[in-house]
Structures are given as C-alpha cells and as structure tokens.
Amino acid sequence: MVWHRTKEASVAYDDLLCAACSGRVVDGGCPTCLVTRQSLPSAPRLPAGALLVLAAVLALLLVLADHVS
C-alpha cells in the first residue's frame, strides 16, 4: 500500500512543469527545477520534527497576531 501511494505521487510530479524553463521539474533542467524538486514530499529535506516545530511557531504567531489586533 505504501509502495502504491509513492508510485501515484511520483506520477503526479512527472506532470509538474517549471515556471522558469517550462520543462518538467523532475528532469531538473534548471536551478529552479532543482529547488522545486527538493521541496517535493517525495524528496524530503526537513525531518518531520522540524515541520512540527514550524507548524507550532506559525500557530503561536497567529495567536500573538490575534492578541495584538
């Protein structure tokens, strides 16, 4: 089941086109492609813990903004 989900995800990314070079992001034809490809869930650069911390910080900022306004 996990394999199946991964396969579906990679197929979806095959259709992702780069705004800078109009090529496929998966081909990594330009620096923008490479950066975008690295940010895709299929090639995670951040550990899950870092994402949780980021989500917590964003929630905290929303709470603070609500108090200020």
- The residues that touch Zn ion, with contacts defined as CB under 5 A, are 18, 20-21, 29-30, 32-33
Nearest position to Zn ion, beta carbon: 18
- Type of residue at 43: A
Q: In angstroms, what is the minimal distance from the CB of 19 to Zn ion?
A: 8
CB of 16 to Zn ion, least distance (A): 10
When the beta carbons of 42 and 67 are compared against Zn ion, the nearer one is 42
**Ordered DSSP codes for 6-64:** HHHHHHHHHTPBPTTTSSBGGGT-SHHHHHHHHHSTTS--S-HHHHHHHHHHHHHHHHH
